[in-house]
Amino acid sequence: MPAKIDRVMVAHYGELWLRGRNRDLYIRKLKKNIATQLAGEKFRFGKSYDRIVLLLSKDSDSESIQSKLSGVFGISAYELVHRTEPDLKHIVKLAERLMKPLKGRRIHIVSHRSHKGFEFTSIDIIEKIVACAEKLGLDPRVKEYDAQLFVNVTKTDAFVYTDRHRAMGGLPVGTSGKAVILISGGIDSPVAAWYAMKRGLEPVYVHIHGFSDAKEIDGSKMPRILKTLSSFSPTSKYYYIPSHIFQMSAIGSMKYELILLKRFMLRVAEEIARREDADCIVTGESLGQVASQTSSNIAAEQHGISLPIHRPLIGFDKVEITEIAKKIGTYGESIKPYKDVCSINSRNPATRTKVEILDRLAEQANLDAVVARSIKSAAISAT
Ligand code: ATP
Ligand code: MG
């Protein structure tokens, strides 16, 4: 027999409502993602039509479950609901326990009976709880409140809760297909990855490194950044691609080296997308943030790439990106020193690159062959 329900975690999925016919598919995926993210936690799914219900028992770690749930895309809000017997005394006692820490707050009390056969009306329930709130030093009111307490009485249970937490929203990871994400050791691309996942893209990460031996990456900050990002996606795959084959073949293109390197990165991403069945590429570029990120450079870099390239941060300021990096937990690692291939390259990059010039340089460097050889030397792992 399963353990008796003690508390219930209710997750709401706002935007999924908009999805019409695909709604069931989205909800199934969301539940699957929740199950993966919450692996090892004690809970089971309860039945509900319009929300996701997780039944917790006495030995469930509700703090840990809440923290993991807050990292699942597709959930717009969640609340930890406490269960008691459908009996007025029990309800008031539980409400009292939940209101105690809210002393001094202006509280709005809401009651709903799903089971109309309950011997007290919602008004009766509210009156009792209001009296209790006043005794505890709270200020019950129906307008201009800063806290709420909800009661829901069903035939077999009474549910009471105070906090509704806003979650990240977005769409369940995997419902928009896969994306190859070009990830550097910097601040921006991990944030771009987060936004890509937020719109339901499952990440396949590609990082171009400057080490002579891929094993050196293991001791760098890259695995730590990727681990933090993996908490937002049930699965992710990483390709570590060496840059030395490119560096050797691109000699002599000084002024355009950085732009050619970007073309190389996009070409690598495109090839990997083909292998992984991904249908787009994501980068952390933001317009004008550094000298090389101009529209003409972007045009030259992406010329010939047949997949859509998403740049979620294109209109973001560095301050805004930094705030999100801190919120998602990648900032601390991103600012640590790292031998990034972009910084090794030309310090004075061209800012207005002509497509024809870059096409010629790519041909001279035999870029297609360089891409193929570099991917052959990739170190690949997955979670
Ligand atoms: P970031 O903070 O993400 O490094 P940035 O502001 O430093 O970005 P660039 O160095 O011009 O800007 O890089 C632009 C984008 O190119 C990055 O956001 C990332 O998507 C991609 N990129 C840069 N370096 C690498 C790399 N070593 N491997 C894979 N992708 C990279
Ligand atoms: Mg960078």
pTM for this structure? 0.90
- Using one digit for the tens of pLDDT, what is the confidence trace for 190-212? 999 999 999 999 999 999 999 98
- Report the candidate in 128, 118, 124 with the shortest Cα–Cα distance to residue 153: 118
User: Cα(274)–Cα(180) distance, rounded to whole angstroms?
Assistant: 10
CATH number of 6-166: 3.30.2130.30
User: Cα(160)–Cα(170) distance, rounded to whole angstroms?
Assistant: 27
314 lines ligand 1 (CB under 6 A): no
144 alpha carbon – ligand 1 mean position (Å): 47
- The per-residue pLDDT of the chain, averaged, comes to 92
Residue 17 confidence (pLDDT): 60
203 alpha carbon – ligand 1 mean position (Å): 16
pLDDT band at 164 (very low <50, low <70, confident <90, very high): confident
Nearest bound ligand to the CA of residue 261: 1
283 lines ligand 1 (CB under 6 A): yes
- Asked whether the beta carbons of 196 and 179 are under 8 A apart, the reply is yes
332 alpha carbon – ligand 1 mean position (Å): 17
State the DSSP code for 358: H
Structural tokens at position 182: 């070009």
**If you compute the radius of gyration of the chain from its CA atoms, what whole number of angstroms results?**
26
**Residue 283: is its pLDDT beyond 70?**
yes
Burial 79-115 (b: 16+ CB within 10 A, else e): bbbbbbebebeebbebbeebbeebeebebbbebebee
CATH number of 178-382: 3.40.50.620
Nearest bound ligand to the CA of residue 183: 1
pLDDT band at 14 (very low <50, low <70, confident <90, very high): confident
- Residue type at 43 in one-letter notation: F
Residue to mutate, 189, 195, 324, 345, ligand 1, most ligand atoms under 8 Å from C-beta: 189
User: Cα(22)–Cα(201) distance, rounded to whole angstroms?
Assistant: 16
Domain layout of the chain by residue ranges: 6-166, 178-382
Q: By alpha-carbon position, which residue is closest to atom 17 of ligand 1?
A: 284
| Torsional sign, CA 296, 297, 298, 304 | positive
290 alpha carbon – ligand 2 mean position (Å): 10
User: Cα(36)–Cα(74) distance, rounded to whole angstroms?
Assistant: 14
- Using one digit for the tens of pLDDT, what is the confidence trace for 54-74? 999 999 999 999 999 999 999
Q: By alpha-carbon position, which residue is closest to atom 18 of ligand 1?
A: 284
- Asked whether the beta carbons of 374 and 259 are under 8 A apart, the reply is no
Nearest bound ligand to the CA of residue 239: 1
N-terminal to C-terminal alpha carbon distance within the chain: 33
- Using one digit for the tens of pLDDT, what is the confidence trace for 312-369? 999 999 999 999 999 999 999 999 999 888 765 556 778 888 999 999 999 999 999 9
Atom of ligand 1 nearest to the CA of 241: 28
Residue 244 confidence (pLDDT): 94
349 lines ligand 1 (CB under 6 A): no
Output phi, psi for 131, to 5 deg.
-60, -45
